[in-house]
């Protein structure tokens, strides 16, 4: 109801019947007259720390994430933010799938993965009279991946802050490779782990490709890749309680876009042996170019009468030149309860169609030479949900606890394409968060 009125008010400003809508919108643009606006306006030195544990079912991956960031306001126009993340990944990940009695049978990574990622980034944000501009640069490294990136973004307010236009560009240059274990006491030599006891090497003559703990960098997979990303977004305040947001993202990747750890079963291929595990498989091989398009529509509605609750409804559509397309529906409800307690339940549904060159296993060669059995390129659907509980103390300290569940199933998907029930899995995620401002 109000939505229609406001749309009219914006186009025919001087009509009497729409005065209330026009005046209300102008009122809401005044700084600090609703309590939340004051909160956004105050500039604090802000410290944030978060711990998240993600664990998949069937002893697949487990990831622990420690994150801390500090936000330092220099004045009311300029703010600097430093963010650090440490991830520890353990567990096993699917490598490829063997056809067994007509069904795909997953072959997990033999040795368990243990990977540590360290990332740091710095961003600066400058507020000017018509909006703000930001620059973010960072670096992330782990034992099989490194990335250097930057992003610039800009937000412009116009139409008396009823409308804002955001735009951004990001670039990243990455290097990806695979590390693997040699059997204990053996080291990498030539193209395979040689059966030479490590003790036979005189000190100081251990080959360069030997990393540590018997890990070596595989020479047969990996490479460089570049990513360019552009974003254009529009936010429109509809009335004092509602807004709508849309954005469009375009991403171009080029370079080595395959997964260096994954292989695909190919009937009739020359058998390859690795760690005494022989099979007719080929390395995960994908095109060296990918163009991705995504669009998001978000509607936010506040309910003053329900103790200032808010509802977010999102829809996202994604498509890329590899033939993957996806729909995401998400619903979030933010409910302030009492005395600084907030409860935020959310629900999500995702459906994806498979990439053109995806199959759980391949019984014949493909003309284009691309093969992938990566479960992330398969046809599937997923249902997720979670709830977060927050409590604010003295307007300064915020503590949060969250739990999320996710279930992926091949037959939850509506998009179609190849897939396998072997990749059905679920995960749970717990998070704890502390935020302090002073």
Partner 1 sequence: MSELTLFNYQFKAMGSPCQVQIYTTDKVTSKNIADAVIGDIVRLEQKYSRYNPKSFLSEINRYAEAGKSIEVDPETASLLNYAVTCYEQSDGLFDITSGALRKVWKFTQNSNTLPNPKYIDKALKKIGWEKVRWANSKLSFSRTGMQLDFGGIVKEYATDRAAAMATQLGVKHGLINLGGDIKVIGSHPDGRPWQIGIQHPQKKDDIISAIGLTTGGMATSGDYERCIMINGKRYGHILNPITGWPVQYFSSVTVVSDFCVLAGSASTIAMLKEENGTQWLTNLNLAHQWIDHEGNVGGSISAINK
For binding to partner 1 (CB under 8 A), which residues are involved? 13-14, 16-17, 19-20, 22-27, 29-35, 37-39, 129-130, 160-161, 240, 395
Of 15 and 275, nearer to partner 1 (C-beta) is 15
d(CA 324, CA 432): 34
Of 130 and 337, nearer to partner 1 (C-beta) is 130
Of 425 and 436, nearer to partner 1 (C-beta) is 436
Of 199 and 339, nearer to partner 1 (C-beta) is 339
| DSSP-derived pairing of the beta strands 425-437 and 309-320 | unpaired
Burial profile 30-69: b = 16 or more Cβ within 10 angstroms, e = fewer:
eeeebeeeeeeeeeeebebebebebbbeeebbbbebebeb
Contacts of the segment 215-218: beta carbons below 8 A, 24+ positions apart: 215/143, 215/179, 215/180, 215/181, 215/182, 216/179, 216/180, 216/182, 216/187, 216/188, 217/144, 217/177, 217/178, 217/179, 218/177, 218/178, 218/179, 218/180, 218/260
CB 79 to partner 1: min, Å? 15
Helix axes 2-11, 19-28, angle to 10 degrees: 90
CB 290 to partner 1: min, Å? 40
In the chain, the largest separation of any two C-alpha atoms, in whole Å, equals: 93
Closest CA to 333 of 312, 306, 308: 312
Closest CA to 143 of 180, 112, 108, 170: 180
CB 42 to partner 1: min, Å? 8
d(CA 236, CA 299): 10
CB 239 to partner 1: min, Å? 11
CA 341 to chain centre: 28
Of 29 and 82, nearer to partner 1 (C-beta) is 29
CB 436 to partner 1: min, Å? 18
CB 28 to partner 1: min, Å? 8
How many alpha carbons lie under 13 Å from residue 338 in its C-beta half-sphere?
Answer: 0
CB 71 to partner 1: min, Å? 19
Helix (H) or strand (E) holding 11, with range, is helix 2-11
Of 23 and 211, nearer to partner 1 (C-beta) is 23
Of 38 and 347, nearer to partner 1 (C-beta) is 38
Of 3 and 387, nearer to partner 1 (C-beta) is 3
CB 407 to partner 1: min, Å? 40
């Amino acid at each position: 109801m109000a939505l229609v009125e406001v749309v009219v008010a914006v186009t025919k400003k001087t009509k009497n019947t729409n005065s209330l809508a026009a005046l209300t919108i102008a009122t809401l643009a005044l700084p600090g007259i609703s309590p939340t606006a004051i909160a956004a306006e105050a500039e604090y030195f802000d410290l944030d720390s978060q711990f998240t544990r993600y664990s998949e079912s069937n002893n697949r991956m487990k990831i622990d994430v420690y994150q801390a960031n500090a936000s330092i306001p220099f004045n009311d126009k300029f703010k600097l933010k430093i963010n650090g993340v440490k991830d520890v990944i353990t567990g096993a990940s699917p490598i490829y799938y063997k056809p067994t009695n007509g069904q795909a049978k997953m072959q997990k990574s033999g040795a368990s993965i243990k990977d540590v990622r360290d990332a740091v980034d710095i961003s600066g944000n400058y507020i000017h009279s018509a909006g703000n501009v930001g620059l973010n640069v960072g670096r992330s490294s782990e034992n099989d991946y490194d990335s250097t990136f930057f992003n610039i973004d800009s937000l412009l307010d116009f139409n008396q802050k009823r409308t804002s236009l955001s735009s951004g560009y990001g670039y990243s240059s990455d290097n990806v490779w695979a590390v693997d274990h040699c059997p204990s006491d053996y080291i990498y030599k030539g193209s395979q782990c040689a059966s030479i006891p490590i003790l036979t090497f005189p000190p100081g003559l251990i080959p360069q490709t030997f990393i540590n703990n018997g890990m070596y960098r595989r020479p047969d997979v990996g490479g460089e890749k570049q990513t360019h990303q552009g974003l254009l977004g529009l936010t429109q305040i509809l009335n004092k309680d509602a807004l709508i947001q849309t954005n469009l993202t375009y991403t171009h990747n080029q370079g080595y876009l395959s997964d260096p750890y994954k292989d695909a079963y190919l009937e009739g291929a020359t058998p390859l042996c690795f760690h005494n595990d022989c099979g007719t498989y080929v390395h995960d091989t994908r095109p060296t170019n990918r163009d991705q398009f995504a669009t998001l529509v978000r509607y936010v509605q506040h309910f003053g009468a329900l103790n200032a609750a808010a509802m977010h409804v999102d829809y996202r559509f994604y498509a890329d030149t590899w033939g993957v397309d996806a729909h995401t529906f998400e619903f979030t409800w933010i409910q302030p309860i009492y005395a600084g307690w907030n409860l935020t339940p959310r629900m999500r549904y995702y459906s994806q169609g498979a990439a053109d060159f995806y199959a759980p296993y391949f019984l014949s060669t493909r003309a284009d030479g691309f093969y992938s059995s990566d479960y992330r390129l398969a046809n599937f659907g997923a249902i997720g949900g979670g709830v977060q509980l927050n409590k604010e103390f003295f307007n300064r300290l915020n503590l949060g606890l969250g739990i999320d569940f996710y279930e992926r199933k091949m037959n939850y998907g509506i998009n179609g394409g190849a897939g396998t029930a072997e990749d059905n899995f679920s995960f749970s995620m717990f998070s704890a968060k502390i935020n302090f401002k002073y």
